[in-house]
Chains A and B, each alone.
Chain A
Amino acid sequence: QQQVKQSPQSLIVQKGGISIINCAYENTAFDYFPWYQQFPGKGPALLIAIRPDVSEKKEGRFTISFNKSAKQFSLHIMDSQPGDSATYFCAASRRGGGFKTIFGAGTRLFVKA
């Protein structure tokens, strides 16, 4: 049973465009929602994260939008660059329980120059 559903599986965006990746979760006990970025041959690394008491968090070109009632959250990458080409994972965990983080299936993003 996949507790975090992620879409799309792959995404191609033109340089300068907006990349949007969506996730939905089932367990209302989750209270921490990170996004991880993974480059080929590397381990995932934390990109940005949000807690459900806010509806949006922005860090540079990366923004998380969070809809608690719909149990959905999304990652927006503004002004997408070829260097953003990577696999992105949404995830969910409970406060203090990061060791049991549940991940989505991942989205492979390719930004065309």
Chain B
Amino acid sequence: NAGVTQTPKFQVLKTGQSMTLQCAQDMNHEYMSWYRQDPGMGLRLIHYSVGAGITDQGEVPNGYNVSRSTTEDFPLRLLSAAPSQTSVYFCASSPQRANVLTFGAGSRLTVL
């Protein structure tokens, strides 16, 4: 089983550029979420989805957009990248009515 797959693993952007971080899971999990990890800040929730067609904001949603057209995929879009968005991004999924998160390996983003 692949679990949660994130691409790309590394990306460098210039300020103002846009891009999409991809996340796919093959466990038929209903719930998916995006976190960013920054030193001393832990993991902060950006957006989450409880099923296809349903998304909502987490703690730090500004500057990010998400959609969920299928159960498997949950892409994260940066609309106009800023240096403050330099971070490691993790996608995670969990089954409905369960609290265990399965994380991807992460995507390291640098915005110059």
Q: Give chain A's interface residues, CB within 8 Å of chain B.
A: 2, 4, 6, 9, 32, 34, 36, 41-46, 49, 89, 93, 95-106
Contacts and interface: CB of A to CB of B under 8 A. Distances in A.
Given A96-B98, A99-B50, A100-B58, A44 B103 contact: yes
Interface string B19-48: 000000000000111010000111111001
A96 B97 contact: yes
B23 to A, nearest CB: 11
Given A42-B106, A43-B104, A99-B49, 12 more contacts: A41-B105, A43-B92, A44-B103, A49-B100, A89-B43, A96-B98, A97-B99, A98-B101, A103-B42, A104-B42, A105-B41, A106-B40
Contact of A102 (B4, B45, B96, B104): B45
15 contacts: A2-B42, A34-B99, A49-B100, A95-B99, A96-B96, A96-B99, A97-B99, A98-B31, A98-B94, A98-B98, A99-B32, A101-B99, A102-B45, A103-B35, A103-B44
B40 A105 contact: yes
Contacts of B49: 99
Contacts of A93: 99
Interface residues of B, number: 29
B43 to A, nearest CB: 4
- Across the A-B interface, give the 4 residue pairs with the lowest CB-CB distance, nearest first: A43-B103, A98-B99, A99-B31, A103-B43
A93 B100 CA distance: 10
Given A100-B45, A106-B42, A32 B105 contact: no
A44 B42 contact: no
Nearest to A94: B99
A46 B94 CA distance: 12
Residue among A6, A99, A104 facing the most chain B CB atoms (10 A cut-off): A99
B42 A98 contact: no
